[in-house]
Amino acid sequence: MKQPLVLASSSPFRRMLMENAGLVFESFPAGVDERKIEQSLDGAMPDEVALALAQAKAVDVSAGKPGALVIGSDQTMSLSDRVFHKPRSLEEARENLLALSDATHRLNSAIVFAVDGGIIWRHISHADLTVRRLNAEFVDRYLARVGEKVFGSVGAYQLEGEGIQLFSRIEGDYFTILGLPMLPLLEKLRELGAIDA
């Protein structure tokens, strides 16, 4: 019998990606304070923050799931040395989108595997996304159309929806952009014998 898989997340997008790949798993949200962890990492690079958050989630959930292979994941978004968070208001979403205009930002997507509270694997993938030059009037119309969906992602966009209109260039794979790099995840699960190879 294969080791049980647990996703340390309540994200519907991450669950959907794993379900679409045919994985059988349970899903449990981690009880960690992400902002507190970030504050303790003052000065860390955005990819280090993503790995630390993914690790905290995996370790937290694995403590209550003996013997299970727990998958923790997280994503940070950075423009130069500025790290963005999910907008808390439409005005903040507007400010963020205008800050991203005519610039290339980076998504840092981390995966960590834990068993019985111990880390057995860590991985980080990157995607670089260039936002076309946006004017304030377009951003206002975009926000009026997509509404509260902007609160669900750190960049105030969903690439799989109308957010694709914001971009002029994308470098990186789709799964990294969605926050769960599936190809390295599946490769490592096969290597560990956790899924059919």
Kindly give the residue spans of alpha helices, DSSP state H, lying in 119-173. Answer: 136-146
β-pairing, 5-7 vs 26-27, is: parallel
Which pLDDT belongs to residue 13?
85
Query: Residue 83: beta bridge partners?
Result: 78
Which pLDDT belongs to residue 1?
61
Which pLDDT belongs to residue 11?
86
* pLDDT by 10-residue block (mean), the chain, 197 residues: 88 92 95 88 89 96 96 94 89 96 96 97 97 97 94 88 94 92 97 90
Phi and psi, residue 27, nearest 5° = -130, 125
Catalytic residue among 33, 60, 74, 128: 74
Which pLDDT belongs to residue 82?
86
> Is 74 annotated in the active site?
yes
CA-CA distance, 127 to 140, in Å (whole number)?
Answer: 26
pTM for the full model? 0.88
Contacts (Cβ under 8 Å, ≥6 apart) of 151: 86, 87, 88, 93
Which pLDDT belongs to residue 33?
87
CATH architecture of the domain with range 5-191: Alpha-Beta Complex (3.90)
* Token representation of residue 44: 């860390």
